[in-house]
Amino acid sequence: HITGMTATVWGNTEVNANGRLRRTTVNGVSPDMLKVFSIKVRSGQFLPAEEADNARAFIVLGARLKDELFGTANPLGARVSVGGLQFRVIGVLEAKGQFLGIDLDDAAYIPTARALELYNRDGIMKIDLSYEEGVRAAGVSALVKATLAARHGREDFTITTQEDMLRTLSNILDVLTMAVGALGSISLLVGGVGIVTIMTIAVSERTGEIGLLVALGAPRRTILGLFLGEAVALSALGGLLGLLLGIGLAQLIRLAVPALPVHTPLSFVALAEAIAVAIGLLAGVLPARRAARLNAVDALRAE
């Protein structure tokens, strides 16, 4: 089920070419790296499939590194000095961006055996595998574990699957969500206190009006509903403004970073507005009850 495999060794080294010097990441990789990381070649070719011990001193440049060293000139066939060793450029990769915080474009790629020589290492640092879509990662992981344990005689390695990385990322996002939720809860509490204050002041300022309504025969539930409705309308309007602000910021982020998926689910919009209305309802209960319980004579005398 395995479709590609690349043994990797990497380090930070000075790369000298075309009269320019740049310190960058130099990765020792296998020919299958393109397949494993879904990268395409812009010009030339990638590292050829050769026996590790006989791998020639070829180098492939990332898109950004090529621009830094050669600008608009064609680098194919040029000599590049990497940490004192000489390599010949045979290809340039298309821009890929970053993977797990590693810039794949500002990097050079040489055969793994040559990287072991460059960094004076006895063994590789990691192996990346790709496998067929639909195959369970646990099955592939178990197969790799059994194979390596049989070869090494002991389990002196760690296997990390894509699911493991996604699970870790999900845990981090969950913590961030909880933090944002805590900040949102504080905002809701502050908003609720603000509504209570505003409605209490409104009841105090409209005492005479309430007394007149009671004297004219208005039921207590009408007065209660009047002030509750006002509190709900206030919170609903605030929630709507908050949603418009949030959606606007999301769209600005989308314009600034087109590659970042930005989506505002309608269910979240409805839930946010419902919570805003509920906060207004809860915050308006006490002032509304106070208004409904006012004595008509006392209220009119206050006027």
pLDDT at 134: 72
The ranges assigned to domains in the chain are 2-159, 164-302
DSSP state of 94: P
Return the closest-CA partner of residue 233 out of 185, 288, 186.
288
pLDDT at 60: 93
pLDDT at 99: 66
Per the listing, tokens 């009269």 go with: 19
pLDDT at 136: 78
pLDDT at 88: 93
pLDDT at 31: 87
Give the separation between CA 240 and CA 227, rounded to whole angstroms: 20
Return the closest-CA partner of residue 48 out of 30, 75, 69.
30
Give the separation between CA 37 and CA 118, rounded to whole angstroms: 23
If you compute the radius of gyration of the chain from its CA atoms, what whole number of angstroms results? 33
Inter-residue contact 192 to 283 (CB < 8 Å): yes
Give the separation between CA 274 and CA 283, rounded to whole angstroms: 14
Return the closest-CA partner of residue 259 out of 97, 55, 104.
97
Which 3 state secondary structure label does DSSP give 24?
strand
Tokens found for residue 301 = 């005398």
Give the chain's residues under pLDDT 70. Answer: 1, 99-101, 259-260, 294-303
Return the closest-CA partner of residue 31 out of 2, 66, 1, 55.
55
pLDDT at 300: 59
Q: Beta strands of 145-236 (E only): which ranges?
A: none
Q: In this predicted model, what pLDDT tens digit does every residue of 15-68 receive, in sequence order?
A: 998 888 989 889 999 888 888 888 889 999 998 888 877 888 899 999 999 998
